[in-house]
Amino acid sequence: MRDGQKPRFAVVACSDSRVDPAIVLQTEPGDIFAVRNVAALVPPYEEAGAYHGTSAALEFAIDGLRVEHVIIIGHAACGGVQAMVHNHGPGEPTGGMFITAWTDLLRKARERALAVDSTLEGDDLVEASERQAVTLSLENLDTFPFIRKAVAENRISVHGWYLNIFNGTLELWNPETQAFEPHGND
Ligand SMILES: [Zn+2]
C-alpha cells in the first residue's frame, strides 16, 4: 500500500453510521474507494456549479484509480429518505437549504414509488422510495460521460444494492428483471 492505493471497488454509500461498506463487502483496507453522502445518492451529471463532491470522487475513482466496479448501496431505515417521505409534501423544504436541495433527488424516488403503487404510505413508502433511490442513482451514473465510456469499454460494471441493516441481508438490482433480488451467498 506504500505505492498508493489500487482499490477495485468504488462504493457510494449513505453517511449513516450503521452502514459500513467494508463490512458489507467483507474487504480489507485498500479495496474500497468509498464515497459517502446523505442517502447514498448519485446526482445527475451537471456542468454548472463548481463543487460536486460526489461527482469528483467518481471521476477520480473511475478515470484515476481505474476501479472495476461501482456499487450504490442504499439501505433500510435511511434517515434521509424517512425525513423526506414522512415530513414533507412536494415543494416543502426538508431541512436546511443544503439538505433540501440534496433531498430533492429523493422526491423523484418517492414519486416513482407512488407511480408503481399509489396506495403506499408510512414505512412501506419509505422502503419503496429507498429502493427507487438506488435505481435513480444508477440512472444518474449513466449521465456521466466518463462512466458511459468506461461501461461501453467494459472497463467497469455498475451495481445497485439494497442493504437491510437489521439482519445484514443484501438485495441486488437485476437490470434484466428490473427487480431487487436476494443475494444468494448470505
Ligand atoms: Zn441512509
pLDDT class of 95 with cuts at 50, 70, 90: confident
Mean pLDDT for the stretch of residues 81-97: 74
- Number of residues that make up the chain: 186
Residue 32 pLDDT > 80: yes
**Separation of 77 CA from ligand 1 center, angstroms?**
7
Q: Is position 4 within any domain? A: no
Domain of residue 175, CATH code: 3.40.1050.10
Residue 134 sits in which domain range? 9-182
Q: Is position 54 within any domain? A: yes
**Separation of 34 CA from ligand 1 center, angstroms?**
15
**Separation of 89 CA from ligand 1 center, angstroms?**
20
Q: Is position 120 within any domain? A: yes
**Separation of 115 CA from ligand 1 center, angstroms?**
22
Residue 88 pLDDT > 70: no
**Separation of 12 CA from ligand 1 center, angstroms?**
11
Please spell the DSSP secondary structure of 124-175, one letter per residue: HHHHHHHHHHHHHHHHHHTTSHHHHHHHHTTS-EEEEEEE-TTT--EEEEET
Tell which residue, 125, 102, 128, 107, has the closest CA to residue 37: 102
- pTM passes above 0.85: yes
**Which alpha helices (DSSP H) does the chain contain, by range?**
21-25, 53-59, 79-87, 97-116, 122-141, 145-152
Q: Is position 109 within any domain? A: yes
Q: Is position 172 within any domain? A: yes
Cell numbers placing 134: 438506488
Residue 47 pLDDT > 90: no
**Separation of 107 CA from ligand 1 center, angstroms?**
15
Instruction: Identify the pLDDT of residue 4.
Output: 87
User: pLDDT (tens digit, 9 = 90+) per residue, 157-173?
Assistant: 999 999 999 988 999 99
Close Cβ partners of 107 (under 8 Å, ≥ 6 residues apart): 84, 90
CB atoms within 10 A of CB 95: 15
- Enumerate residues with CB within 5 Å of ligand 1 (an ion): 14, 16, 78
Residue 114 pLDDT > 80: yes
Q: Is position 2 within any domain? A: no
**Separation of 17 CA from ligand 1 center, angstroms?**
9
**Separation of 21 CA from ligand 1 center, angstroms?**
12
Instruction: Identify the pLDDT of residue 186.
Output: 45
**Separation of 39 CA from ligand 1 center, angstroms?**
4
**Separation of 113 CA from ligand 1 center, angstroms?**
17
Return the DSSP state at 28: -
Over the chain, what is the mean pLDDT? Answer: 91
Mean pLDDT for the stretch of residues 78-85: 88
Mean pLDDT for the stretch of residues 131-139: 96
Q: Is position 3 within any domain? A: no
Percentage of the chain beyond pLDDT 70 is 94
Mean pLDDT for the stretch of residues 17-28: 92
Q: Is position 153 within any domain? A: yes
How many domains does the chain fold into?
1
Q: In what order do the strands lie in the sheet with 32-37?
A: 32-37, 9-14, 69-75, 157-163, 170-174, 179-182
